[in-house]
Amino acid sequence: MKGEAAVSGLLVVDKPAGCTSHDVVNRLRRVYGTTKIGHAGTLDPAATGVLVMGIGKATRLLAFLQGTAKEYRAVARFGMATSTQDAEGEVVSETPCDLSLEEIRRAGAAFVGELSQMPPMVSAIKIKGEALYKAARRGEEVEREPRAVRIFALEIESFDPSSQSAAFYVKCSSGTYVRTLGADLGDALGCGAHLTALRRLSVGSFKESESVPLADLQAMEREEAQGLILPMHDAMRDFPRRRVDGDELDDVSHGRELVDVQPPARLGELPMLNVKRSGDRPAHEAGMTAGVPVGIIGPDGELIAVYRRSPKGLKPAAVLI
């Protein structure tokens, strides 16, 4: 039936440059013959790499994936700042510089940890109901609040002295703007910078090694393309799981709460890297487990719901049966 997916699950797409994330959604709707497709986190048009898609019922699971850590590889050119913090914008300042690899690495080390980052005007964040980039197109500057993000690793991999360009790898929390990270690194070095390339390497444990180029998908017959869809339960592979049967299965089918029999003492290395603060530490480091998704698995091994931890037990967030 039109609008309904014959198969529900996840698809890891390698997005090419030159198209928006919504363009990818539209193209895949034609490939799979359904309107029920969404993505777990936008990539800029010029950016490439991992875009996790949900098809059919799996669109209800994308919100849980959006909070996972991300990995990127980017190239920053120092000595030139732009209005968009990437090569698409207008040059707003040029500062002659003669940096070295060692200088950039020293400056980069200071960015590892929790940062306060100002969202760029070209972002999709909404202020008073309007996305910032729409105001930016009108030449307007909107007052906005900085947000807490976390950089888990920042490695300067190479440097070209002739172009004053550095390639770097970053692992960061959800909500981090890598273009802003590059611009802030340039400011720290006193010369400004902008990104000339950006590629997303992973969303949680979904890596570029399992991604499929968009052009390949568009060239496939529908049956072949459906064979690449990952099962629904893969959406929860980075999170705790709970198998249910009997009375608990009946509770889940009716959307009732469950007793949390084995809540973890702390989140540890879970990719759900929530940076809401508790005292002076991010929530995932402070051992706070409330709100963490838990995949509920039925007797047949299939994902039947996602619950969230609360102080009083597990509460339903998405029931799929």
Give the catalytic positions in this structure.
44
- Contacts of residue 125, defined as CB under 8 A and 6 or more positions apart, other chains included, come to 119, 131, 132, 144
Q: Is 94 left (phi over 0), alpha (psi -120 to 50) or beta?
A: beta
Distance, CA of 109 to CA of 119 (rounded, Å): 21
3-class DSSP assignment, residue 161: coil
Q: Identify whether the C-beta of residue 165 lies closer than 8 Å to the C-beta of residue 195.
A: no
Long-range contacts of 33-39 (CB under 8 A, 24+ apart): 33/2, 33/6, 33/222, 34/2, 34/3, 34/4, 34/5, 34/6, 35/2, 35/3, 36/3, 36/4, 36/5, 37/5, 38/62
Question: Is residue 128 within a helix (H) or strand (E), and if so which, with residue range?
Answer: none
CA angle 290/238/156 to nearest 5° reads: 105
| Residue where the block lists tokens 């980017």 | 74
**C-beta separation of 292 from 267 below 8 A:** yes
